[in-house]
């Protein structure tokens, strides 16, 4: 999604139709929602095309070392995601040189990334591809972590941030509350507190979810019922 502050024009693009485009070269800001992820079969086909066929043991393994990579299948998929992110970012005016030192006009880039090593690695890759870029946290209303008097992060707030980051980056599909708890490793009480905030249709948390194209379906009554988060295109 691309926007120009000068006249508040808004333009929308999507993964698969961005690379090399000059359509947004005068925009001063880019907001990236969601990350492109190639299917596992893509990485297998790419590797096999360049290195030769692979056997069943290679396909079944979770450890496929190649040169400096512990698992080349994962490395190929991750690398392709990095390439597409950098391509998307550089569709705006930061791609245009404005002086003899190679500088560009000020540009703002907003991107949602997973927490932990995966997100940190994405940032380092972007910094390497775009020397001199300044990185800071993107504070979104409703996601700011509250702190206790001793400076420790409030568990409920941290859990809420983890849930929203997870839902912002998952592919299109349906995710049960129990699956979400297992993937993020949060307690049942933390998720329950989060889901109670969604009962208010005017809550900032609910609005944030809708911004991620995520719809919350509350579970029914009775044992075994489960809430579902539906990520839409």
Q: H-type helices in 90-203, by residue range? A: 117-129, 155-169, 177-184, 188-197
Q: What domains are there in the chain, each with its CATH number?
A: 2-129 (no CATH), 156-231 (1.10.10)
Q: 195 and 182 in contact (C-beta within 8 Å)?
A: no
Q: Give residue-wise pLDDT tens across range 128-147.
A: 999 888 998 887 766 554 43
Instruction: Please tell me the total number of residues recorded for the chain in this structure.
Output: 233
Instruction: Note the Cα 2 to chain centre separation in Å.
Output: 16
Check residue 101 and give its pLDDT.
86
Q: Is the pLDDT of residue 157 over 70?
A: no
Check residue 132 and give its pLDDT.
86
Q: Decide: pTM greater than 0.85.
A: no
Q: Give residue-wise pLDDT tens across range 104-114.
A: 899 999 998 88
Q: Give residue-wise pLDDT tens across range 24-57.
A: 999 999 999 888 888 888 989 999 999 988 888 8
The arithmetic mean of pLDDT across residues 174-179, rounded, is 87
Instruction: Note the Cα 78 to chain centre separation in Å.
Output: 12
Count the Cβ atoms, other than its own, within 10 Å of residue 184. Answer: 16
Tokens standing for residue 80? 């392709």
Instruction: Note the Cα 29 to chain centre separation in Å.
Output: 17
At 37, give phi and psi (nearest 5°). Answer: -130, 120
């Amino acid at each position: 999604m691309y926007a120009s502050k000068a006249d508040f024009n808004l333009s929308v693009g999507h993964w698969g139709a961005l690379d090399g485009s000059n359509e947004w070269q005068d925009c001063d800001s880019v907001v990236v929602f969601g990350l492109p992820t190639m299917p596992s079969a893509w990485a297998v086909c790419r590797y096999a095309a360049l290195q030769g066929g692979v056997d069943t043991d290679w396909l079944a393994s979770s450890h496929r070392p190649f040169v400096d990579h512990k698992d080349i299948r994962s490395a190929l998929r991750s690398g392709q995601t990095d390439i597409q992110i950098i391509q998307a970012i550089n569709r705006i005016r930061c791609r245009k040189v404005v002086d003899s030192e190679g500088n560009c006009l000020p540009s703002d880039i907003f991107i949602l990334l997973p927490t932990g090593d995966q997100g940190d690695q994405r940032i380092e890759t972007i910094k390497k591809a775009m020397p001199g870029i300044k990185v800071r946290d993107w504070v979104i209303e409703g996601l700011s972590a509250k702190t206790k008097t001793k400076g420790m992060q409030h568990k409920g707030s941290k859990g809420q941030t983890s849930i929203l980051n997870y839902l912002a980056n998952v592919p299109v599909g349906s995710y049960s509350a129990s699956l979400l708890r297992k993937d993020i490793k949060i307690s049942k009480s933390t998720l329950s507190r989060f889901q109670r905030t969604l009962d208010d249709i005017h809550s900032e948390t609910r609005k944030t979810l809708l911004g991620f194209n995520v719809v919350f379906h509350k579970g029914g009554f009775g044992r075994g019922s489960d809430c579902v988060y539906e990520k839409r295109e």
